[in-house]
Amino acid sequence: MKKRYLLLLLSVFGISASAQKSIDQRVSELLSKMTLEEKVGQLVQYSGFEYATGPQNSNSATVLDEIKKGKVGSMLNVMGAEETRSFQKLALQSRLKIPLLFGQDVIHGYRTTFPVNLGQAASWDLGLIEKSERIAATEASAYGIHWTFAPMVDIARDPRWGRVMEGSGEDTYLGTQIGVARIKGFQGKGLGSLDAVMACAKHFAAYGAAVGGRDYNSVDMSLRQLNETYLPPFKAVAEAGAATFMNSFNDINGIPATANKYILRNLLKDQWNYKGFVVSDWGSIGEMIAHGYAKDKTEAAEKAILAGSDMDMESHVYMTELPKLVKEGKVDVKFIDDAARRILTKKFEMGLFDDPFRFSNEKRQKEQLNNQENRKFGREFGSKSMVLLKNQNNILPLSKSTKTIALIGPFGKETTANHGFWSVAFKDDNQRIITQFDGIKNQLDKHSTLLYAKGCNADDQDRSMFAEAVETAKKADVVIMTLGEGHAMSGEAKSRSNLHFSGVQEELLKEIAKTGKPIVLMVNAGRPLVFDWAADNIPAIVYTWWLGTEAGNSIADVLFGTVNPAGKLPMTFPRTEGQIPVYYNHYNTGRPAKNPTDRNYVSAYIDLDNTPKFPFGYGLSYTQFKYSDMTLNSSDLKGNQTLNISVNLSNTGSYDGEEVVQLYIRDLFGKVVRPVKELKGFQKIFLKKGESRNINFKLTPEDLKFFDDELNYDWESGEFDIMIGTNSQDVQTKRINWVK
C-alpha cells in the first residue's frame, strides 16, 4: 500500500513539477539532448509544394526525409488540418519528436478576406483593424496555422513600389498605431490560445525605401532617417510582443538586412532586448551571394547567423553550412544554441510539445469556413475602407430606385480580383466572392435595371468592346465605371514605372464621358494611382482598393448611402509619376514654394503644380463637417506640462457620418531640420446630422522628441505650430512656445 501511495504522490508531484518547470528550463533540458545537426535543423524552414510564395527549389522527397530526421524546424504554405497533421506526424518520427511550426502569409484575412492593408489603413479605425486580425487568426489557426508572416509595417512613400498594398502607407505615427493593433489582433489572449497565431513583424528593415520604388532594390539613408521614419513601427510591435520578425531582401547602406548587425543584433536583440526569433525572407540568406556580400553559401550562412538571423527560409544554406562552420570553429555553437532556444521557446509557448496536433482540428476548420459573422464584419470593414475623393453636385449616394444603371469596366464581374494580392489560394474561394455587379444588383429595386459592359480588359490594347460599352451607357440614367489596376498589379515584385490606369481604360472612360451621362468612377487598386484627367473631369470618384470576400456588398452599401464613406488616404496621391516621392511630412528646404504655381527660384517643378493630387489624410463624406473654436490650455508651456487641445466639430450636413479628426505639429526650429507637419494624433468621431461635439487631444514633451544627427532622441525648447483638421492640408493652426 505504502509503495503505491508513494508512487501516486510522485506521479502527482512529478506532473505538477514538470508543469511548474519553466519553459526556459524545458528548452534547456531539450537543448542539452540535441546534437548539433538537430539544433541546426530547428533553424531550417521550407515551403510546402502546392503553393509557393517565392522561387522554389526544394525537392519534396528530400524535404519529407529531412523532416523525419529532425532536420526541419518549420514549414510554410502547408495548410489545412489534414495536411498539417500529416506533416506533423513525420516530424514526430524524429529522434526527439520536436514538432514543426506552420507559417503562412495571412495578410488581410484568411478564408474570409478583407480589404488590402493599404485600404484598411484608409479606415483609420484601429478597432476594425484589430478585429480583422482577430478573425484572421481564428480562421487560420483552425486551419492548422501557428504563425502568420504579418504585420508588414514597412513605411513607404513611393507608390511605384507594389508592396505599398500590404502596408499602412507613408506615415510613421499611423503605421505604428496600426502595427500594434495588428499584433493585438493576431496574438489575442496570448500564444498558446487555440485561436492565437504568432505574429511576424516585417520586413526588417526599411524595405519600403527601395531606390526608385523598385522591389528588392537598395536602401541608402542616414541612420537618423532610419531611426526617425522606418524603425519606430518595428520597435513598437516588438514592445507589443510580436512573436517573430522577418528580415528584408534589401541592403541597408551597403549591408544586406539579413546580415545587418546594426539592426538585428545592436538594435533588435540588444538595445530593444527582443526575445523572439528572426526568420529570413524567402531565400534572402543565399541571396547575399548575388548581393556581392557573401562569396558563397558558407560565408552567407556565417554572416547571417552571426548577425542574428535565426531561421533560414528556403535558402537551403543553414542545414548544409552551419554544422561545418561550428566544427571548423568559425561559428561558436552559442549562436546556434541562441537561435534554437528562441525557436523552441515559441514552440513551447504555442503548446506544441504538449499537443503537436492541437491546431490541426477538422471540426474547428469546418466551423470557420464561410463563417457568416466574419463575412458580415468583412462587409462593414470594406465600406469603412473606401475613400470618397470627389462628389460634385452630390451625385452620390445613388437612389436604389434609379431606373437604369450601367456598370462598365473590366472589374465589374471579377471574382478573384477582389481578394487583392496576398490572399491564400484556396480553390473554392471564388464561389464565395460577392462581385461588384452582384452587390449592386442585390440592392437595386426590383423595377430597376442594372446593365453591364466590360468595355475593355484590365491591361491590353483591345478596344473592340468600346462600342458596346458606349451603347450600354447611352441606355442608362447613370454610369458606374470600375477601373484601376488589376489585383495582381500590386504586391510583391509588382513595381510599376507608370501608375496610370493600365491598358486602354482611360480611353474607355473618355469615350463614355462623351455620352454626357453622369458618371461615378470606382478606382480599384492596391496603391495610389495617377488619374489626373479623371480627377479633373469625372464628378464622383470613390477609391475602392480591393475589398475582399464581401467587396460587392461593401461597394453597394456606400454607393447607395447605407454607409456614409469616411476613409482618409494613408498615402499622398501624386499628380504624376515624375513628382514621386511626394509626401506630406517633408522638410521645408531653404526655398519653399510660396504657392502651388510658384516657380521663381523655389523648390518646385517648372512643369507641375507643387502640390499632390490628393493629400495625405484626405477623404470626403456625404455630409459636411465644420471645425471651430480651436483652443489650447496655454500657448506658453514649460517642462513636462501637458498641452490640452480642443476643437468643436459639427455635422452640418444631411447625413450621419464619421470624421477622422487629425492632429499635426510642426517644430519650427531644431538641431536638425524638422518636417513641415507631423501626425501626432487622430480620433474617428461619429456625429449624427446636426450634432456637435468638442474633440480633445493632449500632447506632452514625449510627442515632440526626434533623433538628432548624433542619434540622441530628445526634444528641444522652441516654437511649435499645433494643427487640427480634416486632412494634412486643411487645418487650423495655433502657435505655442514650449521651453524645457
Catalytic residues: 281
Min. distance of Cβ 645 from ligand GLC in angstroms? 39
Min. distance of Cβ 284 from ligand GLC in angstroms? 8
Min. distance of Cβ 108 from ligand GLC in angstroms? 13
Min. distance of Cβ 135 from ligand GLC in angstroms? 20
Cα separation, 429 vs 110, in Å, equals: 10
Cα separation, 134 vs 545, in Å, equals: 22
662 burial level (CB within 10 Å; 0-12, 13-18, 19+): buried
Cα separation, 281 vs 278, in Å, equals: 9
Cell numbers describing residue 323: 554544422
Question: Which 72-91 positions form the footprint of ligand GLC (CB under 6 A)?
Answer: 76
Q: Is 54 in the site for ligand GLC (CB under 6 A)?
A: yes
Q: Quick one: three-class SS letters along 73-134?
A: CEEECCCCHHHHHHHHHHHCCCCCCCCCEEEECCCCECCCECCCHHHHHCCCCHHHHHHHHH
Instruction: Give all strands (DSSP E) within 422-508, no chain letters.
Output: 449-453, 478-484
Residues ≥6 apart with Cβ < 8 Å to 298: 321, 324, 325
Identity of the residue, 167 or 657, whose beta carbon is nearer to ligand GLC in the bound complex:
167
Identity of the residue, 162 or 397, whose beta carbon is nearer to ligand GLC in the bound complex:
162
Q: Which of 27, 34, 40, 53 binds ligand GLC (CB under 6 A)?
A: 53
Min. distance of Cβ 206 from ligand GLC in angstroms? 14
The residue written with cell numbers 548539433 in the block is 36
Cα separation, 255 vs 292, in Å, equals: 10
Cα separation, 672 vs 679, in Å, equals: 18
Identity of the residue, 176 or 247, whose beta carbon is nearer to ligand GLC in the bound complex:
247
Q: Which of 125, 171, 281, 667 binds ligand GLC (CB under 6 A)?
A: 281
Question: Which 197-216 positions form the footprint of ligand GLC (CB under 6 A)?
Answer: 202
Min. distance of Cβ 106 from ligand GLC in angstroms? 10
Cβ pair 583, 421 in contact under 8 A: no
Identity of the residue, 45 or 623, whose beta carbon is nearer to ligand GLC in the bound complex:
45
Cell numbers describing residue 636: 506658453
Q: Which of 66, 105, 658, 659 binds ligand GLC (CB under 6 A)?
A: 105
Q: Which of 46, 143, 282, 501 binds ligand GLC (CB under 6 A)?
A: 282
Min. distance of Cβ 148 from ligand GLC in angstroms? 9
Cα separation, 682 vs 680, in Å, equals: 7
Alpha-carbon distances, residue 451 vs 457, 466, 475, 659 (angstroms): 18, 15, 9, 34
Alpha-carbon distances, residue 414 vs 169, 176, 436, 583, 711 (angstroms): 26, 33, 8, 32, 50
Min. distance of Cβ 287 from ligand GLC in angstroms? 11
Question: Which 442-481 positions form the footprint of ligand GLC (CB under 6 A)?
Answer: none
SS3 432: helix
| Antiparallel, parallel or unpaired: β 706-707 and 713-714 | antiparallel
Identity of the residue, 75 or 649, whose beta carbon is nearer to ligand GLC in the bound complex:
75
Q: Is 561 in the site for ligand GLC (CB under 6 A)?
A: no
Q: Which of 114, 149, 531, 697 binds ligand GLC (CB under 6 A)?
A: 149
Identity of the residue, 54 or 539, whose beta carbon is nearer to ligand GLC in the bound complex:
54
Cβ pair 495, 508 in contact under 8 A: no
Interface with ligand GLC (CB under 6 A), residue total 9
Nearest to 505 by CA among 437, 453, 458, 537: 458
Q: Is 492 in the site for ligand GLC (CB under 6 A)?
A: yes
Q: Is 727 in the site for ligand GLC (CB under 6 A)?
A: no
Question: Which 516-545 positions form the footprint of ligand GLC (CB under 6 A)?
Answer: none
Min. distance of Cβ 174 from ligand GLC in angstroms? 21
Identity of the residue, 105 or 171, whose beta carbon is nearer to ligand GLC in the bound complex:
105
Cα separation, 28 vs 107, in Å, equals: 34
Alpha-carbon distances, residue 30 vs 39, 333, 520, 537 (angstroms): 10, 16, 63, 68
Q: Which residues pair with 647 in a beta bridge?
A: 695
Identity of the residue, 420 or 455, whose beta carbon is nearer to ligand GLC in the bound complex:
420
Identity of the residue, 52 or 240, whose beta carbon is nearer to ligand GLC in the bound complex:
52
The mark string for 323-362 relative to ligand GLC (x by CB under 6 A, - otherwise) is ----------------------------------------
Min. distance of Cβ 315 from ligand GLC in angstroms? 12
Give the other-Cβ count within 10 Å of 696's Cβ. Answer: 11
Q: Is 110 in the site for ligand GLC (CB under 6 A)?
A: no
Identity of the residue, 149 or 616, whose beta carbon is nearer to ligand GLC in the bound complex:
149
Cell numbers describing residue 470: 458606349
Residues that bind ligand GLC (CB under 6 A): 53-54, 76, 105, 149, 202, 281-282, 492
